[in-house]
């Protein structure tokens, strides 16, 4: 890959990454409810899910996505239901004025699973990469170094954008320390999470 292709691909990925979607909504919701660290594991799951689909597209394995179509549908519903469950859990939390680190802490595994399910529930991602990558590179002439570079670009750009969303939302959360403000923030966080879950199920 030439330097120009790398810069063009990175710029295009940035524009796509900042576009709001279920991943952005879930990341913001986790950051609002439980801070930056918890949201960062959601981001990790989202990024790894994207890398999985990216590699499938690079190696021409879109047929696998078609074969596993029913499984992807199941994952979509499970992912949506899980996000709605989290929304309910956040909404029903009893706030404490002294708790400024987060009112609803999930394990890093659950946060990671949330992000991963969001991406894997949308097999159209692989179709996106199949249509997107040829604009910048020739998939038939890619070598190992090119694949590593592409994967790094997706990881860094997508990760940076999502972590920025998480950091910004977490700062808003830390500014609101009293009980009433926490209640409003939790309502907002649960609403965002519920919207993301409903979107996955209904789309």
Angle, CA 42 vertex, CA 189 and CA 76 arms, to 5°: 85
97 CB neighbour count, 10 Å cutoff: 11
Residue 190 CA: distances (Å) to CA of 25, 115, 143: 10, 16, 44
Compute the radius of gyration of the chain from its Cα atoms.
18
Query: Tens place of pLDDT for every residue, the chain, 203 residues?
Result: 778 888 888 887 887 787 777 788 888 888 887 889 889 999 999 999 999 888 887 876 555 555 656 665 776 677 677 768 777 876 776 655 434 344 445 677 888 988 898 888 766 666 677 667 766 777 667 788 888 999 999 999 999 999 999 998 888 766 555 566 666 666 776 776 687 677 767 76
Instruction: For residues 135 and 9, give the distance between their C-alpha atoms in angstroms, rounded to a whole number.
Output: 9
Helices (H) and strands (E) in the chain, counts: 9, 0
pTM of the model: 0.68
Please state the φ and ψ torsions of residue 142, each to the nearest 5 degrees. -70, 140
What's the token pair of residue 132?
């997107």
103 CB neighbour count, 10 Å cutoff: 21
- Taken in order 136, 125, 43, 192, is the CA torsion positive or negative? positive
């Amino acid at each position: 890959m030439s330097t120009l292709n790398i810069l063009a691909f990175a710029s295009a990925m940035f524009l796509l990454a900042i576009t709001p979607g279920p991943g952005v909504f879930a990341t913001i919701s986790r950051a609002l409810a439980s801070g930056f660290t918890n949201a960062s594991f959601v981001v990790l799951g989202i990024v790894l899910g994207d890398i999985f689909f990216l590699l499938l597209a690079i190696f021409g394995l879109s047929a696998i996505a078609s074969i596993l179509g029913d499984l992807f549908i199941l994952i979509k519903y499970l992912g949506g239901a899980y996000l709605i469950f989290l929304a309910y859990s956040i909404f029903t939390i009893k706030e404490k004025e002294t708790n400024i680190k987060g009112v609803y802490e999930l394990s890093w595994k659950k946060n990671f699973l949330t992000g991963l399910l969001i991406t894997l529930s949308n097999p159209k991602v692989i179709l996106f990469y199949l249509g997107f990558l040829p604009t910048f590179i020739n998939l038939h002439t890619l070598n190992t170094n090119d694949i590593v570079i592409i994967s790094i670009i997706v990881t860094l750009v997508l990760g940076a954008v999502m972590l920025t969303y998480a950091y910004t939302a977490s700062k808003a959360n830390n500014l609101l320390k009293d009980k009433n403000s926490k209640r409003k923030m939790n309502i907002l966080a649960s609403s965002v999470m519920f919207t993301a879950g409903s979107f996955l199920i209904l789309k």
